[in-house]
Amino acid sequence: MRLETENARAIEEPDDAVIGAALASLERRRTSWVALSVDKERSALVTAARGRSGYVLEVVGRRVRRCRRELPPEAVARIFRAYRRGDDTWSRDLAWKDVTNEGWWFYLVVILVLGVAVALAFGWLAEYLASLRAE
């Protein structure tokens, strides 16, 4: 088990007190996210970040799932402690949204813009070379 935050060193095998302190730093806005991971082989990860009215909770495994509602600090603390103990019953009590491919459109737009830019550059180059030949 490994606990990480935005601006502190990672802590191996954190206990409930360490998890509580990390979440308290999130509450005091000293960090913007906290992540608790099981191990590199399973790559399971629970993250919490400040939202508009609570915490945004995500679970990362083969897919990325985000809780459909923001959670209060006490609920996130209970979830992190349960996750550390290997108890995943909390995940069945929440509504999740799969956000694995949520940002794919950005890459599509970038590729399209680059494609248009390359096409314009080749068109300009072809015109320029044609004008040189005509002279």
Examine the domain organization and report whether 8 and 65 are in the same domain: yes
List, for the chain, all residue ranges whose pLDDT scores fall below the cut of 50: none
Examine the domain organization and report whether 92 and 47 are in the same domain: yes
Examine the domain organization and report whether 85 and 112 are in the same domain: no
Examine the domain organization and report whether 96 and 107 are in the same domain: no
Examine the domain organization and report whether 88 and 110 are in the same domain: no
Tokens of 66: 């985000």
Closest to 44 (Cα-Cα) out of 33, 60, 56: 60
Residue 34 phi, psi (nearest 5): -135, 135
Examine the domain organization and report whether 108 and 93 are in the same domain: no
Residue pLDDT, tens place only, 88-117 = 888 888 898 988 876 656 566 667 788 888
Number of domains observed in the structure of the chain? 2
Angle between helix 73-85 and 16-27 (nearest 10): 150
Examine the domain organization and report whether 16 and 75 are in the same domain: yes
Residue 132 belongs to domain spanning:
103-135
Grouping H, G, I as helix, E, B as strand and the rest as coil, residue 46 is: strand
Task: Report the alpha-carbon distance of residue 18 to residue 80 in Å, rounded.
Answer: 11
Examine the domain organization and report whether 94 and 107 are in the same domain: no
For residue 36, list its beta bridge partners.
3, 46
Task: Report the alpha-carbon distance of residue 75 to residue 8 in Å, rounded.
Answer: 23
Examine the domain organization and report whether 10 and 55 are in the same domain: yes
Examine the domain organization and report whether 91 and 33 are in the same domain: yes
Whether the model pTM is above 0.75: no
Grouping H, G, I as helix, E, B as strand and the rest as coil, residue 122 is: helix
Examine the domain organization and report whether 69 and 82 are in the same domain: yes
